Amino acid sequence: MLASGLDTLRLTLHVLAASVWVGGQIVMMGLVGPSRAFGPDAAKVLARAFARFAWPAYAVLVVTGFWNISTFHWAAQSGAWKAVLVVKVIVVALAGLATLLHAQASSRTGLAVWGSVAGMASVAALVMGVLLAG
């Protein structure tokens, strides 16, 4: 059976936003080093450009994530499913907070630590989403 039109819209928006948020972070990891050849501010310019896409994608992820949750009957889900969902919500919040702290960091250490936390939390949230779809 195929998904309904509304389910298709919801899931497409969620996967597209995850592609931008998580995939974009992975691409940015690969671009930061080589971008330094274009000057000391090149990475900052790239980061600002990415943020214009990433933050709206994060907002779409949060909205469609709660929309996804609303399609399930809580009582019908297993304890493991509920535990993964609760942890995923926490990890998604951590990813957003770490990304915000990364953007505001003024030291190389702060950039590295918060960027790493943001990236790991984002990938973890993606994996948990796959588990929940199971």
Domain count, the chain: 1
Measured in residues, the chain has a length of: 134
**The domain containing residue 43 runs over which residues?**
5-133
Q: The pTM is what?
A: 0.92
Residue 37 — φ and ψ, nearest 5°? -65, -20
Tokens 């931008």 belong to: 20
DSSP state of 105: -
Tens-binned pLDDT, residue by residue, of the chain (134 aa): 878 899 999 999 999 999 999 999 999 999 999 999 999 999 999 999 999 999 999 999 999 999 999 999 999 999 999 999 999 999 999 999 999 999 999 999 999 999 999 999 999 999 999 999 87
CA dist 102 and 116 (Å) reads 9
For 78-99, give the DSSP string.
Answer: -HHHHHHHHHHHHHHHHHHHHH
